[in-house]
Amino acid sequence: MPPAVIVAHDPAWPARAQQLLGEVRAAFAPLDEADRFVYEHIGSTAVPGLAAKPIVDLQVRMPSLPGLAELADVLAPTPFVPAHGARPDSPGVHRDTPRPGDRADAARYEKRLFHAPAEAAILHIRRTDSPFAEFVVEFRDWLRHHPDQARRYEQIKRALAEQHADAPDYDDYTRAKSDFLNEIQPQLRAWARSRTSS
């Protein structure tokens, strides 16, 4: 996988995300007879005006996770295939790392990761009760409502992308963003709670 490259926000990203989510939703229909799966556009490409790696991140939340092979079969009509990571310890491939203060119930952090290289898209499949799945949506929404922090995040990402320009993959870039996430998490969580209680 090439090193991180940050580009200006593309207004076409949300429409492409919805198109791909539509394909995924259609493929998952036989598994989701109760209509309980949640389909979301996440990550920086989901924040208007925010520069990002030109890779659309998608998330599906479901009550329990089928095996990787079963999901690969179900997703065969779509562009998505299993993603295995650049290294054995690549973050966020087989499980998510709990955020500071979150419960560390390992089963709730298990995930399935797919990608569509030709579409420049990644599909994160997580359990409905995954604290990390909730966090990425809260973070997306917080950035949407705090443009000053979104601009700051963009500056940090650009600096990190330059710092890791010669890296063979995204892994160290991804880990390096944690300092910003750790710093803003208390205010992000307080904001999310205020929205829930209002």
Domain count, the chain: 1
Whole-number Å distance between alpha carbons of 161 and 34:
42
Residue 40 domain-assigned (yes or no): yes
Residue 7 domain-assigned (yes or no): no
> What is the predicted pLDDT for the residue at 182?
93
User: Which CATH number characterizes residue 59's domain?
Assistant: 3.30.460.10
Residue 3 domain-assigned (yes or no): no
Whole-number Å distance between alpha carbons of 62 and 73:
17
In this structure, the number of other CB atoms found within 10 A of the CB of residue 18 comes to: 14
Domain of 67? 13-197
Residue 89 domain-assigned (yes or no): yes
What angle do the packed helices 131-145 and 178-197 form, to 10 degrees? Answer: 90
pLDDT band at residue 88 using 50, 70 and 90 as cut-offs: low
> What is the predicted pLDDT for the residue at 1?
46
Rg (CA), the chain: 16
Residue 4 domain-assigned (yes or no): no
Residue 1 domain-assigned (yes or no): no
Token output for 137: 């949506």
The identity of residue 98, as a single letter, is P
Residue 181 domain-assigned (yes or no): yes
What angle do the packed helices 131-145 and 147-163 form, to 10 degrees? Answer: 110
In eight-state DSSP terms, residue 110 is: B
Q: Mark out the alpha helices in 36-177 (DSSP H runs).
A: 68-74, 106-109, 131-145, 147-163, 171-176
Q: pLDDT digits over 131-187, tens only?
A: 999 999 999 999 999 999 999 999 999 998 888 777 666 667 777 788 899 999 999
pTM over cut 0.75: yes
> What is the predicted pLDDT for the residue at 177?
86
